């Protein structure tokens, strides 16, 4: 088996030693020895040693109550430090003889391949300049680590970078190691678990911090490299105004089932974004004003500033004053309704034009080398982030809009909207959308729920167009769901177009997505109001929870195919918005492969996707990591646009139909139809306790009820904690097993070899199975599950084993991830630190439930730390 890179192993060892020293300084050498005894026992047990397993259990059972929390914290902190080392290893300095990582060279190699396939230089340059990729940062209910710890972890990564020089003097190396020791001590003495849930505004501030500390630096670096790759391949430059990747956010706008997100919250977040953008640009302008001290300027620039000894500084001073006015107004408007003064910036051209004037003047005066430095970086940021930093999406459940309209039609004496059929709803909505009079009289006093829906629409109407993204409708199923939002926005005074986006989530809704959009686009009044592309959101999380990943993946694929065809027939551009999670059970997985596996024609220069949970930190938390992931997104969307995958063969489609039918039947037979399943889920996993973990501002459930009422995130999270990983694989074992019984081995092999969609699904399935562990899941059953329910657990673990065996047979490997030995080794090493956390968690859950009341104080904290540690060790929560 391939070993982990020696440098990575050395850094993990260094961080582990420093952590051990820190713990020893606080709790003494005997405690550190006990932690090491637990680790050695787990290591031996993983190798099959009965004595090692006995030692592990005996040591854990012998822990006193006051030792449970620090032991859990020790293993949790080590896994977080291992994550930091792994993250840095991906972006570490490479020697002259070392190859660049794939993420760094992906665009250069793609451009060569595209040129080899006959694409002209002008076409490539034009296509890259026109790419429209938007990454939507969602509220991070699965980000377990506290923000204060994330900042310390980032600082540790920076010290690893400082250490990564062979020519450091002994004193310099010692200084870096001292800083590392200090940072690790700070992290150890900081509570892992926040005491209170973050508010939606806190979540938005967390998103802004990712931009401030990482993306603000990464974006211009990424665009500079893109420009260089394009120039090397074609001789052409990336236009100044090009922004192939932009960012939006759901933080403070996603009110679906979250009563904490109100109209006032959305207004506050919009203002905070304007404040943060102005503040970041002010830092840039201060730097530029210090650098651009030159005297010679173009006639165009001099016409603007007049005769000035330092014309660039004079122009930048004017921009600086306007940015200061914008920042001051944003801050004042947070406290009260304040009209913006004439100096406040409203249009992005007001920001870009003085910067462009400086840029062109420097080039005209022979100072291009200066123009291509910090000034170009600022221009790139202005093109990407604009005056509003990120565009805020609004999201609300379709039922809330229908309820509001029912109240309104009832008030107007027209009957109850909710009781009308689709034709009646569409007729009413189209008539009212075309009617110039208001829908409601001024004296109308709505209920609290309807007032909140209307207030949200008023916030959208008042906000500048460039500050908003889309209005997303959860659980959409019909054209009236879209028209209803348009009418409510019109009633709120919205005078401009905004993309109103139906989100198709369940299996039935995905199957109906094409017909629903076909009917919507066939409505004359709707087409007249449609400006730009028709955006449609595909839900991965809820469709997988509804039907299992086998059927959901195929339904998502077919829905996209149908939507592409429908929009082509109506001569309307289509923008697909992918609501993907961080885990396989929620549509997660490597973004590059996922994009290249989409149906042909579905990625036509446009791509929109959510970035969720802890994946935001893992992919964009450090500038160099962010740059790598932006490279992957751009290259994948460019390739999928210009060289889309082939359409599936009829035999593949028929096989996938059979797989989906078998998969959904097997999944629902367990999750929906087994009489003991809900009770087993409640007993075998920490689902009950997850509601106490202050992960995010949203409640764990949309409403009271069983599994169907759970959000997709805690549904996945609970199974991940026990390592059964059930939502990601359940159904595949029956679907693939039935295919093999039908003699379709050769057909499945052909699909895997020639069809990116199927290959990517099997690859993601293999990854999640490698992280699953039936023996760990059995430990939870032994400690937590009543005897009459334990046979169901054994049955589910047997299905897991069947899944592993079938995937190995399909891939022709002797062990999972044999083709990726470093990844397999990383999982193996982490298990040594995860196993004690699993055992501790099962014990703490048992104690909590035996008391029939939540454990409190250090024991509750220990339980929550095990949750956080397991999430960190597996690198994904929900």
Q: How far is CA 225 from CA 93, 95, 435, in A?
A: 17, 19, 52
43 catalytic residue (yes or no): no
Residue 387 and residue 364: Cα distance in Å, rounded? 28
H, E, C per residue of 187-207: HHCCCCCCCCCCCHHHHHHHH
What's the CA gap between 111 and 108, in Å, rounded? 5
**Do residues 582 and 877 lie in contact, with contact meaning Cβ atoms separated by under 8 Å?**
yes
The per-residue DSSP string of 590-607 comes to -HHHHHHTSPTTS-SSEE
Tell me the sheet residues that pair with 473: 396, 502
Asked whether the beta carbons of 597 and 566 are under 8 A apart, the reply is: no
Cβ-contact 558, 728 below 8 angstroms: no
* Contact status, residue 251 vs residue 186, Cβ threshold 8 Å: no
Instruction: Report CA 563 to chain centroid distance, whole Å.
Output: 24
Integer Cα distance of 870 and 779 in angstroms: 15
How many Å apart are CA 105 and CA 124, to the nearest integer? 17
Residue 168 CB partners (closer than 8 Å, separation 6+): 176
C-alpha–C-alpha distance, residues 813 and 793, integer Å: 27
Q: Which two tokens stand for residue 147?
A: 């923000």
Determine which one of 545, 619, 771, 838 is catalytic: 545
Query: Does residue 133 sit in helix, strand or coil?
Result: strand
Q: Compute φ and ψ for 145, nearest 5 degrees.
A: -70, 145
Helices vs. strands in the chain: H and E counts, helices first: 39, 8
- Ramachandran angles phi, psi of 296, nearest 5°: -75, 130
Label the pairing between strands 245-249 and 132-137: parallel
Which has the closest alpha carbon to 162: 150, 179, 149?
A: 179
Tell how far CA 824 is from the center of its chain.
24
Is 140 labeled as catalytic in the residue annotation?
Answer: yes
Burial of 43 (0-12, 13-18, 19+ CB in 10 A): middle
Catalytic residue among 34, 89, 140, 490: 140
**Rg of the chain over CA atoms, in angstroms?**
28
Q: What are phi and psi of 391, to 5 degrees?
A: -85, 130
Strand 499-504, strand 468-474: pairing: parallel
Phi, psi (deg, nearest 5) at residue 513: -60, -45
Catalogue the active-site residues: 140, 545
């Amino acid at each position: 088996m391939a070993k982990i890179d020696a440098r990575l192993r050395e850094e993990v060892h260094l961080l582990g030693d420093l952590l051990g020293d820190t713990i020893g300084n606080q709790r003494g050498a005997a405690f550190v020895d006990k932690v090491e005894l637990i680790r050695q026992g787990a290591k031996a047990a993983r190798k099959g040693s009965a004595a090692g397993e006995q030692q592990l259990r005996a040591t854990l059972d012998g822990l006193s109550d006051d030792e449970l929390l620090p032991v859990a914290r020790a293993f949790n902190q080590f896994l977080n430090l291992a994550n930091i080392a792994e993250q840095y290893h991906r972006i570490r300095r490479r020697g002259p003889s070392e190859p660049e990582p794939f993420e760094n060279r992906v665009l250069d190699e793609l451009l060569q391949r595209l040129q080899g396939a006959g694409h002209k230089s002008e076409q490539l340059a034009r296509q890259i300049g026109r790419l429209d990729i938007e990454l939507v940062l969602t509220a991070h209910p699965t980000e377990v680590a506290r923000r204060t710890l994330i900042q310390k972890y980032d600082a540790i990564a920076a010290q690893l970078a400082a250490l990564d020089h062979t020519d450091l003097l002994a004193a310099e190396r010692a200084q870096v190691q001292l800083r590392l020791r200090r940072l690790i001590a700070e992290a150890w003495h900081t509570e892992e678990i926040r005491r209170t849930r973050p508010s939606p505004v806190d979540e938005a501030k967390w998103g802004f911090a990712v931009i401030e500390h990482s993306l603000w630096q990464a974006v211009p670096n990424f665009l500079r490299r893109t420009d260089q790759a394009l120039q090397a391949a074609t001789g052409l430059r990336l236009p100044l105004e090009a922004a192939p990747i932009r960012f939006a956010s759901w933080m403070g706008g996603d009110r679906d089932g979250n009563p904490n997100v109100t109209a006032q919250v959305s207004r506050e977040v919009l203002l905070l974004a304007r404040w943060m953008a102005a503040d970041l640009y002010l830092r840039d302008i201060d730097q530029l004003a210090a650098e651009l001290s030159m005297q010679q300027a173009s006639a165009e620039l001099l016409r603007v500033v007049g005769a000035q000894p330092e014309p660039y500084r004079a122009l930048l001073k004017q921009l600086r004053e306007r940015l200061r006015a914008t920042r001051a107004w944003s801050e004042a408007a947070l406290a009260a309704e304040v009209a913006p003064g004439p100096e406040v910036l409203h249009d992005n051209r007001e920001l870009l034009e003085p910067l462009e004037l400086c840029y062109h003047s420097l080039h005209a005066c022979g100072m291009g080398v200066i123009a291509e430095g910090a000034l170009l970086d600022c221009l790139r940021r202005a093109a990407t982030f604009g005056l509003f930093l990120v565009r805020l999406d609004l999201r609300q459940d379709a039922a809330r809009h229908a309820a509001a309209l029912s109240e309104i039609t009832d008030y107007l004496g027209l009957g109850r909207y909710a009781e009308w059929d689709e034709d009646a709803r569409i007729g009413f909505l189209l008539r009212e959308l075309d009617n110039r009079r208001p829908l409601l009289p001024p004296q109308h006093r709505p209920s609290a729920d309807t007032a909140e829906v209307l207030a949200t629409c008023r916030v959208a109407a008042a906000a500048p167009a460039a500050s908003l993204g889309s209005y997303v409708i959860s659980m959409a199923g019909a054209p009236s769901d879209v028209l209803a939002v348009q009418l409510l926005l019109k009633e709120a005074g919205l005078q401009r177009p905004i993309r109103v986006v139906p989100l198709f989530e369940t299996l039935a809704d995905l199957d109906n997505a094409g017909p629903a959009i076909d009917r919507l686009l066939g409505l004359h009044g709707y087409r007249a109001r449609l400006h730009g592309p028709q955006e449609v959101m595909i839900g991965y999380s809820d469709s997988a929870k509804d039907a299992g990943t086998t059927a959901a993946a195929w339904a998502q694929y077919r829905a996209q195919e149908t939507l592409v065809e429908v929009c082509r027939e109506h001569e309307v551009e289509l923008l697909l918005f992918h609501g993907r999670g961080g885990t396989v059970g929620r549509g997660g997985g490597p973004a590059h492969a996922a994009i290249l596996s989409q149906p042909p024609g579905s990625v036509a220069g446009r791509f929109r996707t959510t970035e969720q949970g802890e994946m935001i930190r893992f992919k964009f938390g450090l500038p160099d990591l962010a740059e790598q992931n932006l490279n992957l997104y751009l290259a994948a969307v460019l390739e999928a646009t210009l060289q889309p995958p082939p359409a599936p063969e009829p035999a593949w489609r028929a096989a996938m139909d059979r797989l989906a039918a078998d998969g959904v039947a097997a999944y629902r037979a367990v999750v929906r139809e087994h009489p003991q399943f809900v009770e087993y889920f409640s007993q075998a996993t920490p689902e009950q306790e997850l509601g106490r973990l202050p992960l995010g501002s949203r409640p764990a459930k949309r409403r009271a009820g069983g599994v169907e009422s759970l959000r997709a995130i805690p549904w996945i999270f609970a199974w991940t904690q026990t390592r059964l990983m059930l939502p990601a694989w359940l159904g595949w074992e029956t679907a693939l097993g039935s295919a093999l019984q039908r003699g379709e081995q050769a057909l499945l092999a052909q699909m895997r070899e020639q069809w990116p969609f199927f290959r990517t699904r099997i690859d993601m399935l293999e990854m999640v199975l490698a992280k699953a562990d039936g023996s760990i899941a059995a430990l939870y059953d032994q400690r937590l599950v009543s005897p009459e329910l334990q046979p169901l657990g054994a049955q589910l673990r047997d299905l897991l084993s069947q899944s592993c065996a079938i995937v190995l047979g399909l891939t022709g490997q002797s062990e999972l991830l044999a083709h990726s030995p470093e990844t397999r080794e990383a999982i193996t090493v982490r298990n040594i630190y995860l196993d004690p956390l699993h055992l501790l968690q099962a014990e703490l859950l048992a104690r909590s439930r035996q008391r029939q009341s939540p454990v409190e104080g250090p024991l509750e904290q220990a339980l929550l730390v095990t949750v956080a540690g397991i999430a960190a060790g597996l690198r994904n929560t929900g």
